[in-house]
Chain A
Amino acid sequence: MKIFLHNRSMLPGLVLTLIFTGAAIVSLVWVPYDTTVLNIAERMKSPSLQHPFGTDQFGRDILSMIMVGARTSIAVALVAVGIGMLAGVPLGLAAAARKGSLLDEVIMRMNDLVFAFPSLLIAVMITAVFGASALNAIIAIGIFNIPVFARLTRGAALTLWSREYIMAARVAGKGPARISVEHILPNVTNLLIVQGTIQFSLGILAEAGLSYVGLGAQPPTASWGRMLADSQTMISLAPHLALFPGLAILLTVLGLNLMGDGLRDVLDPKLRRSRS
């Protein structure tokens, strides 16, 4: 635990992450102002005591919008990482267990294929096919997480398969599936957590980008990316409309990245030695 908190990146990362997840959770029960009620008369007010971050083009409180937007961003990114792990990890384990087989080849080629597609273009295509929504943003981001986790898992699992204790388990008559679950998986968990944090932060950036071009969550659901898109033409009139949502994205991603670095240092002693 001590090493946990003494790490240079861990503490600020954890604090930032807690602030934004906290804001998202609090927004479920309480926000300063209802974000579904528009008040045209109060629009584009500069930051003040009543509205610390000011109001937007429809007179909504920007602080409240950012709190609700945190929920959207975190939910989309989290589920997308979940999809990537749930599909990618088993694929990676299977490919490693049957290394060199047709199965391995097919899985890895499919991974290459997904990697070869320009991810953002595919996200645009998916939302064009199925319509723009938070769910489709999740799917689009999630699909590109699958090969990331599959490769990572396969690579790590392959080195584990050559270890003595796996040999021992094999000799003891355990099948590849059982070995994968009982011996390989627990040993790649740390790696997955670290990569998961990084993919989580990438997911938040991707969600913001998709929403910015209008392909993410639809109104009235608040979304940071769409707040930025909506503020674009008003940036010279009321810069605060663009400032706060952008800062929210920046700080959340920064927090997650720092936390990811910290986790890697803590969970992977080999790296810790070489890094500091």
Chain B
Amino acid sequence: MRLKLFGNGLISALALAASIGIAEAKTDIIVAMQLEPPHLDPTSAAAGAIDSVLYSNVFEGLTRFGPDGSVNPGLAKSWTISEDGKTYTFNLHDGVKFHDGTDMTAEDVKFSLDRARGDDSANAQKALFAGIESVEVIDPVTVKVTLSEANSNFLFNMAWGDAVIVAPETIADIKTNPVGTGAFKFSDWVQGDKIDLEKNPDYWGTPAQLDNVTFKFISDPTAAFAAVMAEDVNAFVGFPAPENLPQFEADPRFQVLVGSTEGETILAMNNKLEPFDNIKVREAVAHAIDRQAIIDGAMFGYGTPIGTHFAPHNPDYVDLTGLSQYDPERSKALLAEAGFPDGFETTLKLPPPSYARRGGEIIASQLRAVGIETEITNLEWAQWLEQVFRGKDYGLTIVSHTEPMDIGIYARPDYYFQYDNPAFQELFAAITSENDPEKRSELLKQAEEMIAKDYVNAYLFQLAFPTVADARIKGLWKNQPTQATDLTAVVWED
């Protein structure tokens, strides 16, 4: 009897100690985001939500993006590039294990790259791998990739979420049970609600500070607001309602990080459709638009005006907003010159995000002021892809291009805005094969200027990326150089 009492006392003393321990350093976190991944294979879908949960947390590639967008070593600790820029030899980290305990070796790298570029590949960014001619295993920690031609973007391409390293043994179930090499391993997915990750105790690199991570999916902006206010979630990455941010900023419980993204938000014009095949009309549209009113009205002030298709935080960015200043009179004059003194009618097709829906209403009103009448159609993403992106059945549309360094889309004449300029295509080919950073930067600036002067699209603003978090959380990414919620360095502070 006495012994039992003693036993109870010991247990409660231990429990007390344990609870004090927990109070000192919280090691679990609930991170909310708007979109739920459709499945958990980053190598076979375009859905950014997959990367937002898994990139760098669960899956890693040969290289990885840092918080500032730089390309850093990932599973490859170093590499050598041949003189002609065609052969990359990667030296892998030793002793890397997948979450199922098997070793990650050069064979897995070969498997992953070959799978992504193979004939039956379902990779959404297959073009990233297009230049790969062969992948050879030299030894378990060395792999040689040969390209058909030099590609200065190759290391950058290998950092994408679509290029992470997966294992052949676990590939069959990857969509519901992803097995990677990251600092966290997947533990549970309640569809429609949340995904749980737990710390990987055998991680090859710097271990994560958190033990448990829960990603919660709250697509409704009102629910998002209430969930943060009620502290049901510790952080909300990509907070969907910019109008609510000032309330969080005023509240000492929260910190608000407004970071930049790779999302160039543009009013795209169908360059092969009358009257947008006329550069004067495109210029008129560009001058009819008051960027600040759109940023204020649609994004409540969050967003940086842009004058070309390039991210302002990039060192190679040139501010070209001066080419398309808000000037309705000039716009009307240009329309008259182009043969539309009374304006014209066109369609404005809008995908679901609020930047497009709200921005669309404002743009419609601005265009009406210079005589351009628009018929607004709100589309679901699937319809938008079908009608606008693939069908090219539209006059105007608003969309944010969130892929990093995607100015190359202007070199594709079949791309949905149908800009077909051989001079630009040549220029872009030169950029791709240029390995000298300074020359490359010069060429990029030329490219930015060329599309701005051709008024291919009306460039609106760089999408902001707001994160609202508990004030005690440190180490969250502020910017979104790629779609990711890298929690490997996140820690609670007192």
CB of B365 within 8 A of CB of A38, answer: yes
| Chain A, 35-54, CB within 8 A of any chain B CB | 36-38, 40, 43
Please tell me if B378 contacts chain A, counting CB pairs below 8 Å. Answer: yes
B149 in the interface (beta carbon within 8 A)? no
Interface string of A176-216 (1 = CB under 8 A from B): 00000000000000000000000000000000000000100
Complex alpha-carbon distance, A180 and B479, angstroms: 73
Known: A38-B297, A219-B376. A233 touches B225 (CB 8 A): yes
**Docked-complex contact A131 and B368, CB < 8 angstroms:** no
Residues of the B chain whose Cβ atoms lie less than 8 Å from the Cβ of A131: 377, 379, 383
* Chain A residue at minimum C-beta to C-beta distance from B364: A220
Which range holds the interface residue count of chain B? 20 to 34
Q: Which of B38-46, B75-83, B240-248, B276-284 makes up part of the contact surface?
A: B240-248
Query: Which residues of B, 186-245, contact A by the 8 Å Cβ criterion?
Result: 221-222, 225, 240-241, 243-244
Residues in A1-60 with C-beta less than 8 Å from chain B:
36-38, 40, 43, 57-58
Q: Is B58 an interface residue (CB 8 A)?
A: no
Complex CA gap A40/B362 in Å reads 9
Query: A235: shortest Cβ distance to chain B, in Å?
Result: 7
Does B293 reach chain A (CB closer than 8 Å)?
Answer: yes
Residues of A within 8 A of B (CB): 36-38, 40, 43, 57-58, 128, 131-133, 214, 218-220, 232-237
B380 on interface, CB distance cutoff 8 Å: yes
CB atoms of B361 and A232 under 8 A apart:
no
Whether B368 pairs with A40 at a CB distance below 8 angstroms is: no
Min CB distance B289 to A, Å, is 13
Cα separation A145 to B109 with both chains bound (whole Å):
61
CB of B360 within 8 A of chain A? yes
Chain B residues lying within 8 Å of A40, measured Cβ to Cβ, are 293, 296-297, 362
Decide: B297 and A233 in contact? CB cutoff 8 A. Answer: no
A232 vs B380: C-alpha distance in the bound complex, in angstroms? 20
B297 A43 Cβ-Cβ under 8 A: yes
B68 to chain A, nearest CB (A): 31
Complex Cα distance, B358 from A43, in Å, reads: 13
Across-interface contacts of A219 in B (CB, < 8 A): 357, 360-361, 364, 376, 378
A201 to B362, CA, bound (A): 32
Residues of the A chain whose Cβ atoms lie less than 8 Å from the Cβ of B240: 233
- Measured between beta carbons, the chain B residues less than 8 angstroms from A214 are 378
Alpha-carbon gap, A214 to B362, bound state (A): 18
Residues 118-156 of B, flagged 1 when their CB comes within 8 A of A and 0 if not, give: 000000000000000000000000000000000000000
Complex CA–CA separation, A161 to B383 (angstroms): 51
Q: Which residues on the A side are within 8 Å of B376 (C-beta)?
A: 218-220
| Contact pick for A36, options B358, B365, B377, CB 8 Å | B365
Which residues, 352 to 384 on B, are CB-close (under 8 Å) to A? 357-358, 360-362, 364-365, 368, 376-380, 383
B296 touches A233 (CB 8 A): no
Given contacts A219-B376, A220-B376, A236-B225, contact A58 B241 (CB under 8 A): no
A-B contact pairs, 11 of them (CB 8 A): A38-B362, A58-B358, A58-B361, A128-B380, A131-B377, A214-B378, A219-B357, A233-B222, A233-B241, A233-B243, A236-B247
CB distance from B9 to the nearest CB of A (A): 50
Contact A218/B361 with A57-B297, A232-B221, A233-B243 known, Cβ cut-off 8 Å: no
Q: Which 4 A-B pairs have the closest CB atoms?
A: A233-B241, A40-B297, A233-B221, A38-B365
* Option from A37, A43, A132 in Cβ contact (under 8 Å) with B365: A37
CA distance A43 to B362 in the complex (A): 13
A58 engages B297 (CB within 8 Å): yes
Complex-state Cα separation, A90 to B105, whole angstroms: 75
Identify the interface centre among B357, B358, B365: most chain A CB within 10 Å of its CB. Answer: B365
Cα separation A57 to B362 with both chains bound (whole Å): 11
CB distance from A201 to the nearest CB of B (A): 27
Chain B residues with Cβ below 8 Å from A218 are 376-378
| Contact across chains for A58 and B364 when beta carbons are under 8 A apart | no
Are A235 and B222 closer than 8 Å at their CB atoms?
yes
- CB-nearest residue of chain B relative to A128? B380
Cβ–Cβ < 8 Å partners of A57 in chain B: 243, 297, 358
B378 and A132 form a contact (CB under 8 A): yes
A58: which of B221, B247, B362, B380 is its contact (CB, 8 Å)?
B362
Which residues in A have their C-beta under 8 angstroms from that of B222?
A: 232-233, 235
